[in-house]
Amino acid sequence: MLAAAMVVEGILRTPEGEGHYDTGWSLYQALAKNSRLYLLSHAWTEEQCALWLAKRHLTGHLGYLHQTVPGPSGRLEALERIRSWRIGLVLEPDPSCAAAELNAGWNTALITHAAYTQPQWRPDYDRAPRPWDDLAQAVERQTELRLTPRTEQP
């Protein structure tokens, strides 16, 4: 049976609050039913995470792991502590952590949510985001064009 480690922040829980992602919730349910699921969090203690999960009836995981240091190095340190759990798949929302995990020999699935993915994380990203002033000018220009009466062409 597959053993999987799922990162809570970015897959189950939205980064800006206590909300959850429906896709993460469904993924949790499927994995808890059909695999040995473990959770990993860098933001919350086990007690905080357990309360948040219980409110959403997400109680099928087997264990919890706290990542003490943020970022890829902290993620690798946390995963090394559970190497004996024989984790077959790490579900990861952060591309830099996923890259580090792959380099360290972990099978990794990168899970992204379109509405919350930073532009540079997207596979189709090829340039810097447009500066805010450029965006504001473009919106202003579009508004002017929409409000300007059309003249008939001969």
Residues 38-61: tens digit of each pLDDT: 999 988 888 998 999 999 889 999
The sign of the torsion formed by the CA atoms of 86, 88, 92, 97 equals: positive
CATH (domain of 64): 3.40.50.1000
Which mean pLDDT values do the consecutive 10-residue runs of the chain (154 residues) have?
93 84 92 95 89 91 92 95 92 92 94 68 64 80 78 60
Residue 98 CB: number of other CB atoms within 10 A? 22
- Domain-embedded: residue 143: no
88: in domain: yes
Contacts of 99 (CB under 8 A, 6+ apart): 72
154 occurs within a structural domain: no
Please indicate, yes or no, if residue 135 is contained in any of the structural domains: no
Secondary structure (3-state) at 127: coil
Residue ranges in the chain assigned as alpha helix (H): 22-34, 46-55, 71-81, 95-103, 132-147
pTM tops 0.85: no
Residue 139 domain flag: no
Counted domains in the chain = 1
Cα–Cα dist 65/87, whole Å: 13
Per the structure, the complete domain to which residue 76 belongs is given by: 3-127
3-class secondary-structure state, position 41: strand
